[in-house]
Chains A and B, each alone.
Chain A
Amino acid sequence: MKLFLFILINLININIYHYQNNDQLYVKIIPLFDNNPIQLSKANKDSISIETLKFYLTDFCLIKSGEVVWKEVNSYHLIDISKPTSLDIFFTNEVKVDFDEIQFLLGTDSLTNVSGAIGGDLDPTKGMYWAWNSGYINFKLEGKQNSKPFQFHIGGYASPYPTVQKIRLKTKKNLNIAFNVADFLNQLNLVNQNKIMSPGKEAQELSEILSSLFYINEKE
């Protein structure tokens, strides 16, 4: 009996020790409007308010001297600004490698788009799936300018207009990745271009702009 208790207590201890000592690497996503954190449904100085900001970041890997040294398995993350916990991406396994670059995809690759029903962050209940033209919405931004709505649902996986974009950022340790929504909206004329809901050339062009806006935030 004593032996049994001894083993049990030790097992519990090992578990606690394991969790505390887990040196987990994580990426922090910092969505900004100009230099401020985005406040949902609150108009800023340009009378723009953001109501929805959701996008997929997938296929995370770390690179050293141009070679992939670590790759996340099943790497799919839905970033949703209305759910603050989604902004911190914890990698499930321990990562102990030196790296000088981080690489990920903005959006989902074509294989994911033709693989049927998938769970977790890719579950069709997440509001990021097109029922009448199968495929994921890779990036969703909705809001208002002077009470006039804008809606950008950017997706499409098929050639010639795939919208998934590879992003590679130089960094040795800091994994705070910022993204300025104002930089995106400033490149458009919201009066003429305020809606996109289907794949095509325009969606691809917008996805290129979006992918150029991610950067390592040096402040934090």
Chain B
Amino acid sequence: MKRNNVIIILGLFSFFGLAMNLTFKPTPIKIEYPSSWPKPVYNFDNNPLTQEGIDLGRKLFYDPILSIDGSISCSNCHLSYTAFTHVDHPLSHGVNDSIGIRNSPALMNLAWHNSFMWDGAVNHLDVQALAPISHPAEMDEDINNIIRKLIGHSTYRESFYKAFQDSTITGEHLLKAISQFELTLISCNSKYDSVMLKTQVFSMQEERGYELFKKDCSSCHAEPFFTNNQFENNGLPINPILLDLGRYNITKKKTDSLKFKVPTLRNIEFSYPYMHDGRFKSISEVLNHYTNNIKVSNTLSNKLKSEIKLTSNQKVDLTAFLLTLTDKKFLFNKDFSFPLDKYYPDVEKKKKTD
């Protein structure tokens, strides 16, 4: 009888052990943002953030396994230290040295976007990654093939299990993990934000620039995200080589010709070159465009129909304000950069013990 008891107790132990394993609970994470901001557009109920999900997404974001020849990761065109854009590169790069037709956009505050890509081709953050993954001039890969590679990888099945309690890797979970990481990329700690919270004050020059900004720029680059998330024709002459009609390519409506999504101005100091095709290298070139070079056409934004006039001193003031949108805490956030510990856990351990 004693022996039976021992067996029963052991059985119970193994049963509870198994049950606990099966109900591994990931750590829930809540994003933080200023209380004055509106509620996110992204529905977190369909993809609740967890530390495990975010970690997996970050690992995927930095892993060239997503590209056909293992040469390109998301981070190739979206570098954390430059607000997740490809600084100094007018057009996106891809596998086999291919060059795309558009400037890689900066990534931040994505939970408040309801469309993605310069032409709004993508309608939800979760499915955004499918576009660069499949594009022949970007990653040129098939999502089913990525899943095959991930299944064969030494750690991904476990990471997916921890994030989604399912070691079967699905397209849904792959995309949701990438979203989870991207949703944490929140920039809300610039000098501008501190001024809004009344913990800091603008210099007189920045203040003058802010007033000019509110008068001439904020109808499209609306606070607090510095974009209205709409599509506008900002008077750029069409690039004769790229012949990119922007939003028209998606809607096929004549009224959408030459319209592109209004980009955020947060971290603009680090996100050059500017415009959908990266044609301007500096903020001063951008300001000169708006004051002197607007090309009038049928679809020109209503907000640009009356001329923007700025003296050279005013341009300096406006630039000073724009530089207050730099968020160093965001740019140099260690949680956003290459996850060395995820790829080389031994190196990190060694560093700590040294």
Contacts and interface: CB of A to CB of B under 8 A. Distances in A.
Interface of A: 1, 113-119, 123-127, 129, 131-135, 200
B175 A117 contact: yes
A125 B147 contact: yes
Given A116-B125, A117-B179, 13 more contacts: A114-B124, A116-B43, A116-B46, A117-B176, A119-B170, A124-B143, A125-B143, A125-B144, A131-B130, A131-B133, A131-B135, A132-B122, A132-B135
Contacts of A129: 127, 130
Contact of A132 (B125, B131, B170, B179): B131
Contacts of B122: 132, 134
B171 interface: yes
Main SS class of interface, A: loop
A63 B121 CA distance: 38
17 contacts: A115-B46, A115-B124, A116-B43, A117-B127, A117-B172, A117-B179, A119-B172, A124-B127, A124-B130, A124-B171, A127-B144, A131-B134, A131-B135, A132-B122, A134-B121, A134-B127, A200-B252
B123 A134 contact: yes
Main SS class of interface, B: helix
B340 interface: no
A117 B135 CA distance: 19
A114 B143 CA distance: 20
A106 B84 CA distance: 41
Contact of B127 (A125, A131, A200): A131
B124 A116 contact: yes
A1 B135 CA distance: 64
Contacts of A135: 123
Contacts of B47: 116-117
Interface of B: 4, 43, 46-47, 121-127, 130-131, 133-135, 143-144, 147, 170-173, 175-176, 179, 250, 252
Given A132-B134, A200-B252, A117 B123 contact: no
Nearest to A158: B251
Contacts of B121: 132-134
Nearest to A131: B130
Contact of A124 (B125, B172, B179, B252): B172
Most buried by A among B46, B121, B127: B127
A113 B126 CA distance: 12
Contacts of A200: 252
